[in-house]
Structure 1
Amino acid sequence: MLSRRHLFGIAAGALAAPSIASAQGAWPNRSIRLIAQFPPGGLVDTVARLLAPQYAAALGVSVVVENRPGAGGVIGTDVAAKAAPDGYTLLVSHASVHVFGAATRPTLPFDPVTDFTHMVQLVEAPNIILVRANSPFQTLDQYVTAAKTQPVRYGSSGIGSAPHLLGAMLSAEARAPNLDHVPYAGSAPAMQDMLAGSIESMIDPITTNVQQLRDGSLRALAISTPQRLAAFPTIPTFAELGYPKLTSAQWLGLSAPKGLPQPIVERLTAMTPGILAKPELMERFVALQTMPRNPPPTGDAFVALMRQEIVEWTAVARQFNITVS
């Protein structure tokens, strides 16, 4: 507004101000789309569909989840980046695009930081190494020992994904050169192949594997949390097994196109921690073992976290020459 006044004069700016304030004050007066850049059934879609009715109730309009999958989340994220910054397009941003995509893709159709209004981190999902219940690998030590002398394959949701980079780090840290990456177009086909015996293991967020861990059809050899999970106390952490560099999580956030009006930013940022803390949502987050931080990073703190992770994972990607063409 200051630059507009400098260009057109104080009087013009004063005349424009009421109309701008009025437009902002009217928000929202129609349906909002919440873009999930991955297919239905996965981590992003699950969290988006938990949050959409909560935002709808708080804002008084419908919030519709719109799945726009493709290119490892880049397609849907690009749709959000190029949408009008009017508050009617929101994005469940994902570290797989804004951090790991930035680290492994030489080019993106957007800047993962500056082409968005990043408001608040929503939840974090730790990664686990999974094997079948009848796998000969009972421990991570057995797993990496085998990979020192024979091929041991791990599936992931794709080249340049967080599981891919974690596997590369584990291979190097454990001096297990035969830990071989097998990329898939998502976690579901990797799981199918692992259960069929085509691959020995996979690395995946815990979120969509909780039930199988509980019923014993899958076994987790390690988890990327700093401490063991209370819900799964028998799963050791990478750190306690001697691999502290593998302590990490994949976060989801609430973002929008660059230039979202500040009153809308403030309203969404202010309401989100309360939504995340609602008992009915916390119950679901606990069930999924995919939790919000307390308090969740917002605004500049969220962006600073993103920038730091991009630097760290870019170094990892370069170390192992992992790029996505």
Structure 2
Amino acid sequence: MTITTRRQALGLTAAAGLAQPAFGQGGYPSRPIRVIVPFAPGGTTDLMTRLVADNLGAPLGQQVVVENRAGAFGVIGADAVAKAAPDGYTLLAGSPGPMAVNGHVYRNLPYDPARDLCGVCMVANIPYVMAVPTSLPVANVQEFIALARARPGSLNFATSGMASRLTVEMFRAMAGGVELEMVQYRGGAPARTDLLAGRIQLVIEQAPAFLEDFRAGRLRALAVGTKRRFSLLPDVPTMEEAGLPGYEANAWMGYGAPAGTPIEIRRRLATEIDAIVKTPAIRERLVSWGSEPLGGTPEEMDQMLAEDRERWGRVVQMAGIEKE
């Protein structure tokens, strides 16, 4: 995926054309709001956070400051938000790891995602895609499953982190326990290199990383993990259409808050974030990054978080993954 620079992302502030009402003369917000990104600058979560934050200050009448607090797969930043006062002045740039997955895979997590964090508003979905090298003699998911059953243990899948492992573990379980060998990588780039070379036969990873490979015919997309087809890969079926009902795997970015943040404050924030996400210039930028713009309410994000936590907990249990 080619992501535009941070400067280009921030340049959409003026393009969004959002109004600046006189708000904040008493009541919420009465001082600057801090948004903690639990990852390093420059990644997808960081860029999406800043894209929204730079347009959020105007309608709220207060500065919105983004702070990167990276480390421990998002744990450090998420913990800082979990322990902050639930007053709407400290928000989290949320994603599946810190808000849904980490509680199932880390033994000594200093916060409880379900107890200590809550949703404010979703920004975008980032679909996962099942990708194979074009040299592999399969054209769809069912042919891949048949090949894996015919050659148990001879097909490898790449993982560069817990998320890319869990997506395949869920696939294996729903495909009847097909035997696949896991090969671990330090990052997505070397895994992609080996997939292109045919040394690895499968990844289920975030779709934007492979869009150019699919378009150039270097890799084959068998299915996407979203409930609906992905607009940038309209001819690729969903996992459900491919014969695995109930399979859902996608990354996402959304704004979260400490548990106990008043619903009135969360709704106020969500109203403005939703309006920003639905602004044409912002939507266009999010789509160009390979994501699907969302928006919505705190209640909708809380429901999504509950479903995400339950789903990934089930996958971890099925895969027999012990907490680290």
* TM-score of the superposed pair, with normalisation by structure 1: 0.78
Query: CA-to-partner distance for each residue in 1:224-258, whole Å, 9 max, x for gaps?
Result: 12333343222122112211121343332211234
* Counterparts in 2 of 1:27 and 1:250: CA distance versus 1, 3 Å: same
Matches within 5 A, 1:248-287: 248-260=249-261, 264-287=265-288
Corresponding residue of 1:3? none
Mapped partners of 1:78, 1:274: distance in 2: 28
Matches within 5 A, 1:10-49: 24-25=27-28, 27-28=30-31, 30=32, 32-49=33-50
Mapped partners of 1:291, 1:249: distance in 2: 11
Q: Which amino acid letter does the alignment assign opposite residue 298 of structure 2?
A: G
Mapped partners of 1:67, 1:283: distance in 2: 25
Query: What is the Cα deviation at residue 112 of structure 1?
Result: 0.7
1:151 to 150, 154, 158: 154
Mapped partners of 1:263, 1:173: distance in 2: 41
Corresponding residue of 2:299? 300
Mapped partners of 2:263, 2:144: distance in 1: 51
Mapped partners of 1:97, 1:193: distance in 2: 29
Corresponding residue of 1:8? none
Query: CA-to-partner distance for each residue in 1:12-48, whole Å, 9 max, x for gaps?
Result: xxxxxxxxx98745623x4x44322234444322322
Mapped partners of 1:26, 1:95: distance in 2: 27
Corresponding residue of 1:12? none
Look up the SS of the partner of 2:35 in the other structure: strand
Query: What is the Cα deviation at residue 262 of structure 1?
Result: 5.9
Q: Which amino acid letter does the alignment assign opposite residue 284 of structure 1?
A: R
Please state if 1:227 is matched with 2:201.
Answer: no
Please state if 1:95 is matched with 2:96.
Answer: yes
Aligned residues: 299
Look up the SS of the partner of 2:233 in the other structure: coil
Mapped partners of 1:205, 1:83: distance in 2: 31
Corresponding residue of 1:112? 113
Mapped partners of 1:312, 1:185: distance in 2: 26
Contact kept? 2:224, 2:236, Cα under 8 Å: yes
Query: What is the Cα deviation at residue 271 of structure 1?
Result: 0.8
Look up the SS of the partner of 1:280 in the other structure: helix
Look up the SS of the partner of 2:288 in the other structure: helix
Corresponding residue of 2:237? 236
Contact kept? 1:119, 1:265, Cα under 8 Å: yes
Look up the SS of the partner of 2:293 in the other structure: coil
Look up the SS of the partner of 1:244 in the other structure: coil
Mapped partners of 1:40, 1:155: distance in 2: 25
Which consecutive residues of structure 1, in runs of 5 or more, have no partner in the other structure? 1-20
* Counterparts in 2 of 1:99 and 1:83: CA distance versus 1, 3 Å: same
Mapped partners of 1:275, 1:24: distance in 2: 22
Q: Which amino acid letter does the alignment assign opposite residue 81 of structure 2?
A: A
* TM-score of the superposed pair, with normalisation by structure 2: 0.78
Which consecutive residues of structure 2, in runs of 5 or more, have no partner in the other structure? 1-23
Q: Which amino acid letter does the alignment assign opposite residue 315 of structure 1?
A: R
Q: Which amino acid letter does the alignment assign opposite residue 35 of structure 1?
A: I
Query: What is the Cα deviation at residue 201 of structure 1?
Result: 2.5
* Counterparts in 2 of 1:188 and 1:67: CA distance versus 1, 3 Å: farther
Corresponding residue of 1:6? none
Query: CA-to-partner distance for each residue in 1:153-197, whole Å, 9 max, x for gaps?
Result: 2223413x2x32231122233345332233445434433443455
Look up the SS of the partner of 2:182 in the other structure: strand
Contact kept? 1:167, 1:181, Cα under 8 Å: no
Query: What is the Cα deviation at residue 57 of structure 1?
Result: 3.7
Mapped partners of 1:230, 1:299: distance in 2: 25
Q: Which amino acid letter does the alignment assign opposite residue 155 of structure 2?
A: V
Q: Which amino acid letter does the alignment assign opposite residue 153 of structure 1?
A: N
Corresponding residue of 1:199? 200
Query: What is the Cα deviation at residue 85 of structure 1?
Result: 4.3
Identical aligned residues as a percent: 33
Residue range with higher mean Cα deviation, 269-278 or 128-137: 128-137
Contact kept? 1:81, 1:116, Cα under 8 Å: yes
Query: CA-to-partner distance for each residue in 1:190-221, whole Å, 9 max, x for gaps?
Result: 33443455423321122343344334343311
Larger radius of gyration: 1
Mapped partners of 2:135, 2:66: distance in 1: 38
